[in-house]
Structure 1
């Protein structure tokens, strides 16, 4: 997730201070990826170092505002214009967990798959319910559409995860059947009957 570019997108609409950025980021994404204020200020510090934002004064309460620079706007446009690369796929804990489970003796891999499927189905139901609420509350604002798009991405992602878990289960059954057939073939094979030649 590019917090850096998300903050640039918010600053492109005008100067803001850290807490405002955090609040608006979470509002637009439905708090799906919560940020802490420290993370926001660390990212702002890097953006300032890279010449993409500059301090833009303080209000009477001492909040330090940041504004996007022209370089920052150009960076934001490049981000919007470029596809998200798939050259380095993000680590997926579930894929890693199952890859390890099938290689560690004594792990009940079908139970791991079933447990995850139950959890994913519950998440899918929750996301679908939230989508219904979002549609009912839609006022036509862009922030409503942003939240709806995030929810739909979560729904599609969870549906894909459940399909993948079904595939994993099928693959496990096939592998167990192949191993059973190999074991039966070894048992059914005739014992070697060749005689030893005497050494004389």
Structure 2
């Protein structure tokens, strides 16, 4: 997620100063993507330069408050309206790791898959317990946090299914190579294991 768009969305709610923006961003996303104050103020400086935010003055404690300009509000509305562009999604390190592993001689791909599955299942259990700790009707901030946690749960479940698929496909390729004498790392069906772009959240 773009920090730029996230800060603009928060400022559409109300004017805020830098540390307040950081706190609100982390509270509403469950602390999944922590920010430091330096990131926030660097982004605010660029948004100010681009005419999307404006300084509204200092509060009683000398903290500079920022608000949206008309252009900034239009940018937020555009972001709400447009789907997320998956072409710009960061590459998935796990998919790349496994795609390379099947092409490097001597790498035990099954062992990599099993170790990753164990770690992902552990994360899935932790996330499920975290979700279960929420009681009662959530307020807006709690609802935002729950949505992020549920996204991570769905991502972990998807990753486990994909790892099962990888293990089965690698096993099939190994069996074929035993019959044909071919290098399983060079087979097209093994090279197709991993998408270029991220398909799940860790």
TM-score category of the 2 structures, normalised to the smaller one: 0.7 to 0.9
Q: Residue 3 of structure 1 aligns with which residue?
A: 3
Aligned-residue Cα RMSD (Å) equals 1.3
Q: Residue 38 of structure 1 aligns with which residue?
A: 38
Cα deviations by residue, 1:145-198 (Å, 9 ceiling, x for unpaired): 1001001100001101110000000000000000011139xxxxxxxxxxxxxx
Query: Where does the alignment leave 5 or more consecutive residues of structure 1 unmatched?
Result: 185-200
Q: Residue 156 of structure 1 aligns with which residue?
A: 154
Higher CA-based Rg: 1
C-alpha displacement at 1:139, in angstroms? 4.3
Q: Secondary structure at the match of 2:57?
A: strand
Q: Does 1:118 align with 2:136?
A: no
TM-score, structure 1 normalization: 0.88
2: CA distance between counterparts of 1:111 and 1:149? 33
Q: How does 1:1-200 map to 2 (within 5 A)?
A: 1-134=1-134, 136=135, 138-183=136-181
Q: Residue 194 of structure 1 aligns with which residue?
A: none
Q: Secondary structure at the match of 1:79?
A: helix
C-alpha displacement at 1:89, in angstroms? 3.5
Q: Secondary structure at the match of 2:111?
A: helix
Q: Secondary structure at the match of 1:67?
A: strand
TM-score, structure 2 normalization: 0.87
Q: Give aligned pairs, total.
A: 182
